[in-house]
Amino acid sequence: MRLLTRRGFQCVLGAALCLTLAAPPQAAAQDSTLIVAGRIPAGELILTRAELLALPQHELTEQPMNFPDAGKFRGPLLADVLKLANAEAGATEATLVALDEYKVAITVAEMDKYQPILAVDLDGVPLAGHDFGPYYVMWPFKERPEIDNETFQAKAIWQVIKIDVR
């Protein structure tokens, strides 16, 4: 029996690593979780993509400032996500945190009035971490032109990994 040389082992190891990293984005998106913390009874709750998909889904066709074309975003209302987490009735805002630690505050009043969604899919494809996922807050900019401005465009946060309810 012939043993692998160091160079042969490195090649095999490199190939295995490439195959692991080349997993389809849908596989990574399926494993996505969302942390909801702050003013919720559990203190901190981890929601899965499946739990978010079990909520009523809404679609918005929008073209965020960082997109060359419009896309169809699908997901639950952000307010419904807070309800799923049993956010306390006295909560007034949620701070959403992205993978790169970018943060935005969205008031409960804004959620009620404008009904942003927490998108889980873009154009029918699950959002993946390397492509604006796992979750993207999208606002109805076309339906509500009064919010199609820099302030609300900045609240269209992507790569959302945590919601801190206050």
The mean pLDDT value of the chain amounts to 86
pTM over 0.95: no
82 pLDDT more than 80: yes
The better pLDDT of the pair 18, 68 is held by: 68
Report the DSSP beta bridge partners of residue 162: 35, 97
The answer to whether 122 and 71 are in contact (CB under 8 A) is yes
Write out pLDDT tens, residues 46-69.
999 999 999 999 999 999 887 899
Write out pLDDT tens, residues 127-159.
998 889 999 999 999 999 999 999 999 999 999
29 pLDDT more than 70: no
Least Cα distance to 62 among 136, 127, 131, 125 occurs for: 136
Q: What domains, with CATH codes, occur in the chain?
A: 26-165 (3.90.420.10)
